[in-house]
Amino acid sequence: MLVVMQEGATEPQIQAVIDRMVALGFTVHRSTGVVHTVLGGVGPAERVDPADFEVIEGVKEARRIQSPYKLAGRHFCPAGTVVQVGDVDIGGPRVVVMAGPCSVENRDQVMHTAERVARAGARVIRGGAFKPRSSPYTFQGLGEEGLRLLREAADQYHLKVISEVMDHTQIPLVAAYADILQVGARNMQNYNLLREVGRQPKPVLLKRGPAATIEELLLSAEYILSEGNYNVILCERGIRTFETYTRNTMDLAAIPVVKKLSHLPIIADPSHGTGRRDKVLPMARAAVAAGADGLLIEVHCDPDHALSDGAQSLWPEQFEELMAQLRIIAPAVGRSL
């Protein structure tokens, strides 16, 4: 913890801060400058809120020195984590593409879409069985039947399955069918859910919340890691900004930033990140060029009749075109598809 005193802070004010730090268990190191006195505290920083010091008389600002996350930090695994899902490595030399419909709607839709994405080079099929929708009047998902269909399609086309868990009570059900459990953007700070997916062994894909900083994303990953599950994949899917032309603003710089701060793999979701089919291709290419370990893309065999998110789902032909483009781009960052 570093506490910077205001210009002109009095000796009793400085002493009061030192006393408080000592009471909290810090060893305090004082550095008196021409203008500002700085107090450095070594100790239980992660349990103390810097704001607690900032409201003390005479304090200009306080901040943590240590990152509030440890297990998610790069230092914990300098070589980088590769999450293994059967024979699919996420975070390794190959860019892993996960594709499929927003929601599972029926057997034909899943099988047809699976066949197309598998043939084009996807390694994982995605699909929602439980759909969180912002309006209570829209399609809410097929439930377990949807999971069963995903599994069947995946097995037939040699794919892995990723599907979302909406809350901690759904974990056993989803884990019975899926290879990777997805924690959605709106649940990024649902700590009960984070803790429970940390207590089971399947890999977890954790999406960045639309108002979450990169540090908060890593802190949410820390929740999962701290329960013993180290197979966490991060996902950038756009943040909320004043620009409303696209649904969200994809923060692709988060990819190299996460690579520097953390050892965990990070993929991108340009479908939710843009909300418009014609923006998915450019942003998918950009994400791979920026160093993403993979992509999560909505593809539907008939997007015009999709029950959800049709506007952002690619036609299978578009997905094939994208995969061809990615095969050109990946070598620029030392990867293959």
Closest CA to 180 of 157, 206, 207, 162: 162
68 binds its own copies (CB under 8 A): yes
**Binding track, positions 114-133, relative to its own copies; x by CB under 8 A:** ------------------xx
335 binds its own copies (CB under 8 A): no
Candidate segments 117-125, 151-159, 173-181, 307-315, binder of its own copies by CB under 8 A = 307-315
11 binds its own copies (CB under 8 A): no
Going by C-beta distance under 8 Å and a sequence separation of 6 or more, which residues neighbour residue 130? 140, 141, 143, 146, 164, 166, 170
302 binds its own copies (CB under 8 A): no
Q: Quote the CA–CA distance of 185 and 193 in Å, as a whole number.
A: 12
Q: Quote the CA–CA distance of 211 and 214 in Å, as a whole number.
A: 10
19 binds its own copies (CB under 8 A): no
CB of 334 to its own copies, least distance (A): 10
What's 82-123 look like in SS3? CEEECCEEECCCECEEEEECCECCCHHHHHHHHHHHHHHCCC
Q: Are 227 and 72 in contact (CB under 8 A)?
A: no
Of residues 90, 154, 161, 252, which one binds its own copies by CB under 8 A?
Answer: 252
Report the length, in residues, of the chain. Answer: 337
**Residue closer to its own copies, measured from CB, 54 or 115:** 54
137 binds its own copies (CB under 8 A): yes
Is residue 237 exposed (0-12), middle (13-18) or buried (19+ Cβ within 10 Å)?
A: buried
The size of the interface with its own copies (CB under 8 A), counted in residues, is 107
260-299 residues in contact with its own copies (CB under 8 A) are 260, 273-279, 282-283, 285-291
CB of 308 to its own copies, least distance (A): 8
C-alpha distances in Å from residue 314, one per residue of 116, 181, 288, 320: 12, 23, 18, 10
CB of 11 to its own copies, least distance (A): 17
Q: What does DSSP say about strands 204-207 and 160-164: parallel, antiparallel, or unpaired? A: unpaired
Candidate segments 117-125, 147-155, 156-164, 247-255, binder of its own copies by CB under 8 A = 247-255
Angle (deg, nearest 10), helices 277-289 and 316-329: 20
13 binds its own copies (CB under 8 A): no
Closest CA to 118 of 141, 150, 91: 150
176 binds its own copies (CB under 8 A): no
Candidate segments 31-39, 93-101, 113-121, 172-180, binder of its own copies by CB under 8 A = 31-39
Q: Are 199 and 227 in contact (CB under 8 A)?
A: yes
**Residue closer to its own copies, measured from CB, 82 or 329:** 329
185-244 residues in contact with its own copies (CB under 8 A) are 186-187, 189-193, 195, 209-211, 213-216, 219-220, 222-223, 226, 239-244
H-only helix segments in 121-253 = 144-156, 171-177, 191-198, 214-225
55 binds its own copies (CB under 8 A): yes
CB of 156 to its own copies, least distance (A): 30
| Strand, coil or helix: 266 | strand
CB of 28 to its own copies, least distance (A): 11
The pair of three-digit structure tokens given for residue 74, joined into one six-digit string: 């790069």
8 binds its own copies (CB under 8 A): yes
**Residue closer to its own copies, measured from CB, 151 or 207:** 207
Of residues 97, 99, 180, 250, which one binds its own copies by CB under 8 A?
Answer: 250
